[in-house]
Each structure stands twice: as structure tokens, then as C-alpha cells.
Chains A and B, each alone.
Chain A
Amino acid sequence: MIRANVELRIRRQDTPGSAPYWQVFNAPVRERDNVISVLMQLRQQPVTADGQRVDPVAFEHNCMEEVCGACAMLINGLPRPSCSALIDELDHPIVLEPLPKFPVVRDLIVDRSRMSEHLQRVKAWIRIDGAWEIHERTQRQSQQAWARNYLYSRCMSCGCCMAACPQFGPDKAFVGPAPLAQVRLMNAHPTGRYDSAERLHAIMAEGGLTDCGNAQNCVRVCPKEIPLTTAIGELGRQTTLQMLKDLFGA
């Protein structure tokens, strides 16, 4: 089943504090292989192109069908989930690097806990009394409204949009595109909108919406084609209205 070998250039790093270095591998490739499936094969016999036996490359993966968000990395310079990056569709040699903007844990594993922190910062949840049964019918929602909201609810926090954003980074306060899109989603929910002022205030503060430089990288790299810039545009209008309300006490 092995069809050919492919050259992989992988940026490695042993620990968070240590210096990165590069290694080149000639990895066997089968029909319809993707980056993760090649890395899985490679770890059974991690030998570099010049014959050196090295530690297996550390990487993250779980669902293998682009729905869990775990396996995002930089592939030929672009942030994307690696399970759906088919070898046949990539330029060779294939260059793999950890997702930028997030601290490296080891090799291709990064620490994306900032995404969760930022979701907390913007209160990306519906505030309910409790998750018990309250014996009340569900609220009606049009199919059109559903379709708009569903676009945003598929965000899997893979971090690609954050990695591509010139305004997001370890030393910057910007909350980033993915959490902003969740504000858009929560503010549209029939009860979620009760807390929209609080969420808008969170993104009107330092590191909020105005830090967006409108580079539009986020929407170009999102593997789920989530209209992140549309969300940011809508939030612009919402924050303007909120500012007026705050001024005039409406």
C-alpha cells in the first residue's frame, strides 16, 4: 500500500524553554494519507533522512475528522487542522511547525489555554438558573435565524484564526476572533441576550473589539468557514449602540 516517500521538515522543540531545531524525515505515504496519519506511521520508526534514530515527534490528535480541533498546526506556513491536510494536496517538501502565537509544550504541541481564558473573559455562556428541568416549552426560532447561529456554534477552538491574526499574540491583550464570534452567538440567543451588555462591555475594554486590525486573515484560515469578520462587523454595530446607551442611560 505504500506508494511513495514524502519529505517532511519538522520544527521540533524538546521543552517549553529549550531552543527549537529542525529535522528532516522521508516518511512513507499511503493512498489518501493526511499529515496526522503520516506522523502516526513515523512514530513507529522515527529515523531522520540522514539515518539518525530520534525521539518520536510529539503531536496532538483525537477525532481525525476535523471536528475536535486538537490537531491544528502550521503546515507549509498556514495554520490548519492536520488531519484534513491530505498529502496529495500539499506542496512538497511539507513543512510542519507548531501553531504560532501559543506557547510550545513540545514539538508540535502547543498550549491553547488562553482560548479558554478568553472565552471566560467574554462570558461565552448562557446564564441559567440551573441545569435542571423547568417544565417549560422551548422557544421558537426561525430556520433563517437558526442557520445564522449554527455557523458560529461550530467553532471548535482549534486556534487557527488566532494563530493567523496579526493582532493576537503572547504579549498582546487582544481577545482574538474566535471568542468574539462567540459573543455574537450568545448575544443572539433569546435568553443569552439578557447579558449582552455585560459581554459587550467586556469587548469594549482593553484588548477588545477595537484592537481588530481588519486584516481578515481569520476568516481566510477558518477550517469551518465561520464568517468571523461578519461577526466582528455585527459586534461593531452592537458596541456602538451600547456606547450610546451607556452615555444616555437608555
Chain B
Amino acid sequence: MSAGRTVIVVGGGLGGLWATLTIAEAGHRVLLFSLFEVMRSHSVCAQGGINAVLDAKGQHDSVEQHIVDTIKGGSYLANQPPIKSLCEGAPGLIRTFERLGVTFSRTPEGLLDQRLFGGVKKKRTCFAGASTGQQLLYGVDQQVRRLQADGRVEKHEWWEFLSLVKDADGTCRGIVAMDLRSQELQAFRADAVVLATGGLGQIYAPKTTCSTNSTGAAASRVFQQGARFANAEFFQFHPTAMLGEDKTRLMSEAARGEGGRVWVPRDPADHREPGRIPESARFYFLEDWYPAYGNTVPRDIASRAIWKVTREFGLGIGGGDRVYLDLTHLDSAFVSTRLGAILSIYRKFAGVDPLDTPMEIFPAAHYAMGGLWVDFERDERSGGVKQDSPRNHATNIAGLYACGECDYAYHGANRLGANSLLSASYSGRVAGESVAAYLQGLGAGSQDLPAEPFDREVRRQAQINARFAGAHGDQNPYRLHDALGALMTAKVGVVRDNGSLDAAIAELAELEQRFERLDLGERSGWANQSLAHARQVFDMVKLAQVMAASARARDECRGAHYKPAFDLQIPEGKYAGDPEYEAYRARWKAANTRWLKTTTAEYATDGPRIGFEDVDLSLLAPEEPRDYR
């Protein structure tokens, strides 16, 4: 303890709390920053479960299969050594969670139960009712509270991260944050900083399943200070979200995993109540198009199928943007036990009981596969990552680490369901270990630095606050946010084309200009939410520019990034060995030589600089295109 350093962790979801726990247990003091009480973080919204191979269902599941599913689910775009270590670490992580007191659901024998999720053929998903994320987060939250009681963790809740402080060598030495109540700006010194600030679904608001604090603003801020961003064009649209004006609430993939069926009436003019529509008049399009996986195809495929059946075939319910997710054929006691939390959300917000009436759903913005670029060190012996290497989860800024949804590491072009709670927790743990290793090799601490870089950064942030607060225009920050969400949903969404993307890039530049004419609508110097929100929306626009530019640069279809003009269609009815399929495979491989690359983005004042770098494919060569038929 005496040799302990000080580390700042920004964000108190699963990633941030795991990093906090790991770093504090290594003997360092942690300052934990969060916009609100950490237990309210967006991790609580994850419903369905967390993947780990326990092979408890007599299906001969294996860690190797988890690795392959994750690699292929992400269309080979993720570096493979981190995936290997992630999947190998999963069972141990589950056992640790269980020790922390997490109430995982049980089999009649009292063992951990597992359920089926999308993109997978084995039951591999541990769960705690249908509130798994909440249960996992509380498990870690309680441990962090214990460390807080011991004085090893110091929480700074109600503080907003604004920027990094770097020394003359460009090493990260602390942060500047704003007290969201007093509006006070303060610099905090640290020997390392971990960013665990989550996703950015609010860029698509209100058509997103994400919490209102999942803005991506913190990641955007470090990007604007020189941290690289990667794979920004890969954003997952969850196929089954409720319809809503304020938010499109998630209906867990567990609903499909437990037997839920997706369908539309064969005749869009069929206005009968869904229960009165006979089987013969229903179109179970996922089962029809993908007989091998049926309703449990991966999310990107399900989202596009729903898009196609509604937008191209005009078969949405009542001709609109909605399809049925049906649980009514299942045993109601079984469904209530396994999916209770999501049933209650639907009942509360739609006023309809999914046990009696099929739910109405549509795809919505859900998860950023892309994020801050982070490094890893490959262990040549194991093929995974080297344990305790200070390079794991390090950004390109020395002393700055990133973990959880705000990094880009594990999911490639598309994330499999129930891999996010896994990657958030696992990456937090690894980032914590990595920081501990970094601190061992670190010379002088941040306490010995002169005050100048800290004071200068506080002054810079004060100027930005003054500019935002002092503008006398006509642009309301909440309306600017609406405009951003509408633009991104329409032009950088489920289906993309270069014309719309060019338009999006131009409109985003115009949206940024509108901040010159800002009107906060309040002058209060205490808990001024408009100021904090305006600054977030500005940084969201900067990040949206990276997403649009990255999407524009990638002329292919891969995972969640779908540009039909460049689609390589799998020949219908043809399989491996058929000449048509082999010709398709050859075209796919040729495209891979150009496009199987990580997209990188670096900040420049006139717009992000997009580049490409190789993916580590050392475990599984890209021979098999994704095929869920």
C-alpha cells in the first residue's frame, strides 16, 4: 500500500468498476469519477445474460467454439488473441461473480443455468432472471463500496470528465473535471487514467435502447486530444426494441433465445388482431430465410431482415415500421420465470401483456462495436494476450487506458448477444491488471509535476464553458440533440449508401456550426444541466463525424455496416462445394484483402483522418464467410 500510486477511473459501469476493483486490490488508490451514482450506470440495462462456456447442457460446447463464434460473428474484423483470452477467461469470471453474491439463475440441481442466444448453436449464456446486467453491476458495486469504506477508493460522483492533462512528453497525468452541482472546474492528478465511459447510442436518440447518459462525449473528448478511434462505422442496431417517442426500450434477445418467434401478416392489409391470424397467414421470415438458426440469427442479420420485410416488401404491421415478436405460444409460467423483467417493461410501457398479445418491435441503435483504439500484446506461446502486459487496453496516449464499450477490442463488425457483459467485465479486469503493470515501470509520479499543465487545462475548459454559457443565439441544445439523432438515424443507420453519407458529413459540419448560435436558455451557476448537455452534444457531433467518415470510407458490407451497392450476395440455394458458392467465396476473399482491416481515425481540425491497419488473424484464417442459413 505504501508504494501505491493514484489512478483515475472515469465511469462506473461494469468496465469501470472492475478496473477500480483490480487496481485497488493491487494496492493503488483509485479516484472513481461518474456523472451520477455509479450503480445507475447503463450496464444495468443489459437483460439477457453473459456468455461463458460451462458446457452444462449436454451439448459438447467448448471454449474453442466460443472463440470461433465470436470471431465469425464479428466478420473476422476483431484481433483474435484478445478474443481467445476473453473466451478463456469467461468461466472464471462467472465463478468470481458468483463469489461476489450475484444471483445467477439455477437448474433444478442447483447449478448455474444457461440459455441460448443469437449467432450460436449451444446454450452458453448465464443469466440472473432477465436483469443480468443489473445483478452483475451490483455485485461489483458492493465490492467497490467495501473498498470505499476501507478508504482505498474515493468516489467522485456528480463530476463530469472534460479532458486529459498531459505532460510535456504527451503522457497522461490527470484530468480536468466539472462538479455538476457547483460547476467548479478542477484538475486531478493521477499516474494513470482509465476511461470506461460506455457507449454512444444517444447519437441516434431517441431511436436507441441506450440510457440518456450513453453519449460518447468522454471518448470524443480524448479523441479530440489525440487518442485514436477505431471501427467507428460499426454500430449495432438491436432487432427487437419497443416502439417509443422518448426511447425505444430493449426487448432482450433472450426472448428469441427462449423460443420467441418473429413474424408479420402475409397480407399487410390483414388488420385482424394478431391472435386471430391463422398460422397459414403468418410469415415467419427469419425461420423461412435462415432455417439453420431461425429466430436466433445474429443481430445484424435479424435487423436487416426486419428492415427488408418492412421497407422493401412493405409487409410491416399495418404497413408501418413494426413486426411481431411473439411469445404467446410458449408456456406462460416458463416465460414469466425466465423473462419476467422484460415482460414487466413491456406491460408498463406499452400497456399490453406479451403473454396474451405479441409484442410490436423494430430495430434500434444499441451498441458501438467501434471505440477507442487499444493495444494488446500477443503471447506467442498461448496465442492469447500476454498476461500483465502494460500494453493491453492501452490507448495510443501513454498512461491512458480504455475498457468496456468505449473501446473497440472484441466485437469486430458485429457483437454477439451476451458477449457485451462479458467484454465489459473482462476488459475492466484486464485494463486494471495492465495499469498495475504500467505503474510498476513508471518513474516520477504526477504529484511531482509542476502545476502549469494542470492550470492551463483548467483555464482552457473555463473558456469553453464561458463560450457556451455566453452565446446569445437561437439554438437550443436539446433541439440540436434531436437534430443529430434524426440525421444519424436517417443517413448513418441500418442501411447505408455513399450519397446519404456524403450528405450526412455535410449536415454534421453544418450542425457543428450551429453551436456558434447557441442559446442555453438558463444562466444558473448551480446544477446547470443545459450547459453540461450542450457540451456533450457538441462532442457527440464531433464523434458522429468520425462515424460518418468511417462509414463513407468503407465500400463493402461487413457485419453491422451494410452498403447494399457493394453487397456480395450468397448464391441462393448453393453451399460449399457448389461452383457458384466457391466463386462467391473467391470474391469474398478477394474483397477481404482490401477491406479486412481495422478502420482508424485521428483527429484533425478540418475533419477526421481515416486510415486502415491490419487485423491479427493468427488463430483462424478467414476462409469461411458468415452464413447463418
Find out whether the CB atom of B101 lies under 8 angstroms from the CB atom of A186: yes
B380 CB–A CB distance under 8 Å:
no
Question: How many Å lie between the Cα of A192 and that of B100 in the bound state?
Answer: 9
Pairwise interchain contact A65-B45, C-beta atoms closer than 8 A: yes
B479 within 8 A of A: yes
Instruction: Tell me the smallest distance from the CB of B600 to a CB of chain A, in Å.
Output: 31
Contacting pair A142 B40 (CB below 8 A): no
B residues near A143, Cβ cutoff 8 Å: 106-108, 110
A86-B351 CB under 8 A given contacts A63-B211, A65-B249, A138-B112: yes
B99 at the interface (CB under 8 A from A): yes
Q: Nearest chain B CB to A46's CB is how many angstroms away?
A: 7
Our pick among A36, A37, A55, A132 for the contact of B522 (Cβ within 8 Å) is A55
> In the complex, are the beta carbons of A133 and B479 less than 8 A apart?
no
Q: Of B39, B134, B521, which contacts A56 at CB under 8 A?
A: B521
Q: Give chain A residues whose Cβ lies under 8 Å from the Cβ of B522.
A: 55-56
CA distance A184 to B85 in the complex (A): 37
Check B92 against A133 for contact (C-beta < 8 Å).
yes
Q: Which of A117-125, A204-212, A231-239 contacts B (4 or more CB under 8 A)?
A: A117-125
Q: With A and B bound together, what is the CA distance between A141 and B543 in angstroms?
A: 46
Complex contact A146–B145 (CB within 8 A): no
B304 at the interface (CB under 8 A from A): no
A 31-57 binary contact with B (CB < 8 Å = 1; else 0): 111101100100111100000000110
A154 engages B351 (CB within 8 Å): no
- Complex formed: what's the CA distance from A135 to B92 in Å? 7
Asked if B134 and A64 sit within 8 Å, CB to CB, the answer is: no
Known: A32-B350, A68-B44. A133 touches B106 (CB 8 A): no
Residue numbers in B under 8 Å from A97 (CB-CB): none
A141 & B25 in contact (Cβ 8 Å cutoff): no
Binds A, one of B435-443, B525-533, B609-617: B525-533
Complex Cα–Cα for A56 and B12 (A) = 27
Residue in chain A with minimal CB distance to B39: A157
A134 contacts across to B, CB distance below 8 A: 95-96, 99
Closest to B182 in A: A15
> Shortest CB–CB separation between residue A30 and chain B, in angstroms?
5
With A70-B40, A149-B103, A154-B134 given, is the CB distance from A64 to B247 under 8 Å? yes
Closest to A146 in B: B106
The docked-state distance in angstroms from the alpha carbon of A127 to that of B145 is: 11
Q: A140, B111: Cβ atoms under 8 Å?
A: yes
Name the B residues within 8 Å of A63 (CB-CB).
Answer: 40, 42, 44-45, 211
Choose the segment among A19-27, A104-112, A166-174 that binds chain B (4+ C-beta atoms closer than 8 Å): A104-112
Residues of A within 8 A of B482 (CB): 44
Tell me the bound Cα distance from A174 to B148 in angstroms.
Answer: 22
Q: In the complex, which residues of chain B have a beta carbon less than 8 angstroms from the beta carbon of A70?
A: 36-37, 40
A30 closest partner in B (C-beta): B245
Pairwise interchain contact A64-B149, C-beta atoms closer than 8 A: no
Interface presence of B246 (CB below 8 A): yes
Chain A residues with CB under 8 A of B39: 68-69, 156-157
Q: How many A-B residue pairs have CB under 8 A?
A: 194
B135-143, B219-227, B411-419, B493-501: which lies at the interface: B135-143
- Which of B40, B107, B181 has the most chain A CB atoms inside 10 A of its CB? B40
* Chain B CB within 8 A of A191 CB: yes
B146 interface hit (Cβ, 8 Å): yes
**Bound-state Cα–Cα, A30 to B212, Å:** 19
Which residue on chain B has the smallest CB distance to residue A186?
B101
Cα-based distance from A157 to B37 in the complex (angstroms):
10
B100 touches A131 (CB 8 A): yes
Q: How far is the CB of B405 from chain A (nearest CB, A)?
A: 15
Q: Which residue of A lies closest to B337 (CB)?
A: A147
Chain B residues in 8 Å Cβ range of A140: 106, 109-111
| Cα separation A43 to B528 with both chains bound (whole Å) | 12
Contact partner, A65, options B128, B143, B349, B351, Cβ 8 Å: B349
- Chain B residues lying within 8 Å of A64, measured Cβ to Cβ, are 211-212, 246-247, 249
Would you call B527 and A109 a contact (CB within 8 A)? yes
Q: Is A4 an interface residue (CB 8 A)?
A: no
A84 touches B211 (CB 8 A): no
B37 touches A37 (CB 8 A): no
Determine whether B396 belongs to the interface, using a CB cutoff of 8 Å to chain A. no
**A-B contacts besides A32-B244, A138-B104, 5 pairs, CB < 8 Å:** A68-B45, A120-B149, A128-B99, A133-B96, A150-B128
Interface residues of A (CB under 8 A from B): 1, 14-15, 30-34, 36-37, 40, 43-46, 55-56, 58, 60-70, 84, 86, 105-106, 109, 112-113, 116, 119-120, 123-128, 130-143, 146, 149-150, 153-154, 156-157, 185-186, 189, 191-192
12 A-B residue pairs with CB within 8 Å: A1-B245, A32-B244, A32-B349, A37-B247, A61-B212, A67-B45, A70-B36, A109-B527, A133-B96, A153-B135, A154-B135, A156-B40
Residues of B within 8 A of A (CB): 18, 21-22, 25, 36-37, 39-42, 44-45, 92-96, 98-112, 128-129, 131, 134-135, 138, 140, 142-143, 145-146, 148-149, 157, 181, 211-213, 244-247, 249-250, 341, 345, 348-351, 429, 476, 478-479, 482, 521-524, 526-527, 529-530
Ranked nearest first, the 4 interchain pairs of A and B with the lowest CB-CB distance are A140-B110, A37-B246, A133-B92, A125-B142
